[in-house]
């Protein structure tokens, strides 16, 4: 009999949604190498049009922190554009995006935790979902990177399985090319242990690029590349990848959404909770991803959620 060394690796996990796409060997290699992968045509043109039409229903005059149904405009500085939080409440494409077949198995694979205690409340949890509109001069500064280690953003790989704590699905809702204010990433930076000199200089100069009057972008940062996408393409990245965006130079608007996934143990970033209406109509798998747990109460007390 042929001699073999012991294989300590557990078998690969069962695919969460067998009817949906799974990452290829190349996808997994590139994700490990770069911290991100791009899925072309993740949403169809019809899905993109449906989503943009739902956003168009929100009055542009909605002030920062104002509500439109269950969606709230984020209270962030104007130089980062307009962001609407909790867009999965808008239904249609946005609701489908919770467990979209073109990425749900990717997200589940990269967050990992199959067959272990990470799945105690279910496979995944979305702690934030928003849509951002940016016009000329607007951008988001450089942030994250492997040097800035924290559990929530961390990249992990153990025994043949990914264990990332935050996987972002960033979808383009407009075509994004040169001058459009593209998302920018530093490939491989999720594994960097050395701080980028850009951050060192920024810290020395005590520049707050996030505050009102900040308005910085990733343009010109060595190692950073623009991710050009057509409407419907998605970039899936671990949050520890150093990222941000270019400043939009062209007229018009750049439209994107971001859904952030992690383990079912997480909690909502800004204190939002899926509405009772959405929980009532969502399919059981999607419902688990936005509401992993019912809370215990004494009998006879009111339970809103
Ligand atoms: O707006 C972008 O292109 C990047 C989004 C971003 O920085 C984030 O999701 O943390």
Within 10 A of 269 (CB to CB), how many other CB atoms are there? Answer: 15
Ligand 1 binding pocket mutation candidate from 243, 256, 257, 261 (most atoms within 8 A of CB): 243
**How far, in Å, from the CA of 275 to the mean position of ligand 1?**
25
The b-or-e profile of 80-117 (16+ CB within 10 A means b, else e) is: bbbbbbbbbbbeebbbbbbbbebbbbbbbbbbbbbeee
**How far, in Å, from the CA of 245 to the mean position of ligand 1?**
7
Give me the pLDDT at residue 303, please. Answer: 67
290 lines ligand 1 (CB under 6 A): no
Within the chain, where are the H helices?
25-34, 45-56, 92-96, 104-111, 197-204, 276-281, 284-290
Name which residue sits closest to atom 8 of ligand 1, judged by CA: 244
Q: Which tokens is 179 given?
A: 């001058």
Give me the pLDDT at residue 297, please. Answer: 85
Please state the pTM of the whole predicted model: 0.96
Give me the pLDDT at residue 77, please. Answer: 87
81 lines ligand 1 (CB under 6 A): no
Ligand 1 binding pocket mutation candidate from 168, 240, 258 (most atoms within 8 A of CB): 258
Give pLDDT < 70 ranges for the chain: 303-305
Q: All domains of the chain, ordered by start, with CATH?
A: 25-290 (2.60.120.620)
Name the strand (E) or helix (H) holding 226. strand 225-227
Task: Give the C-alpha separation, 198 to 210, whole Å.
Answer: 15
108 lines ligand 1 (CB under 6 A): no
CA angle 234, 140, 193 (to 5 degrees): 80
Of the candidates 155, 162, 185, the residue with the CA atom closest to the CA atom of residue 22 = 162
109 lines ligand 1 (CB under 6 A): no
Name which residue sits closest to atom 5 of ligand 1, judged by CA: 244
Name which residue sits closest to atom 10 of ligand 1, judged by CA: 244
Over residues 65-122, the pLDDT tens digits come to 999 999 999 999 888 999 999 999 999 999 999 999 999 999 999 999 999 999 999 9
């Amino acid at each position: 009999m042929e001699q073999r060394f012991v294989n300590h690796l557990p078998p690969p996990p069962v695919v969460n949604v067998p009817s949906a796409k799974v990452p290829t060997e190349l996808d997994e290699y590139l994700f490990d190498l770069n911290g991100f992968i791009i899925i072309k045509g993740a949403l169809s043109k019809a899905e993109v049009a449906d989503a943009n039409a739902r956003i168009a229903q929100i009055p542009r005059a909605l002030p920062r922190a104002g509500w439109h149904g269950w969606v709230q405009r984020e209270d962030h500085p104007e130089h980062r554009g307009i962001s609407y939080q909790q867009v999965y409440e808008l239904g249609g494409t946005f609701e489908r995006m919770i467990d979209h077949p073109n990425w749900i198995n990717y997200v589940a694979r990269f967050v990992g935790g199959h067959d272990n205690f990470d799945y105690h409340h279910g496979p995944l949890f979305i702690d934030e979902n928003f849509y951002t509109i940016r016009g000329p001069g607007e951008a988001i500064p450089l942030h994250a990177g492997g040097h800035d280690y924290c559990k929530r953003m961390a990249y992990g790989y153990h025994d043949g399985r990914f264990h990332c704590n935050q996987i972002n699905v960033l979808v383009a809702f407009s075509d994004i090319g040169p001058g459009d204010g593209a998302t920018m990433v530093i490939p491989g930076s999720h594994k960097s242990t050395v701080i980028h000199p850009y951050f060192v200089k920024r810290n020395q100069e005590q520049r707050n690029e996030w505050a009102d009057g900040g308005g910085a972008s990733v343009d010109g940062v060595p190692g950073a590349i623009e991710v050009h996408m057509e409407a419907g393409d998605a970039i899936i990245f671990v949050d520890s990848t150093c990222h941000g965006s270019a400043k939009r130079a062209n007229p018009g608007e750049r439209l994107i959404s971001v859904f952030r996934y992690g383990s079912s143990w997480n909690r909502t970033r800004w204190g939002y909770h899926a509405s009772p209406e959405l929980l009532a109509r969502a399919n059981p798998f999607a419902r688990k991803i936005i509401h992993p747990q019912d809370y215990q109460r004494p009998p006879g007390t009111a339970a809103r959620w």
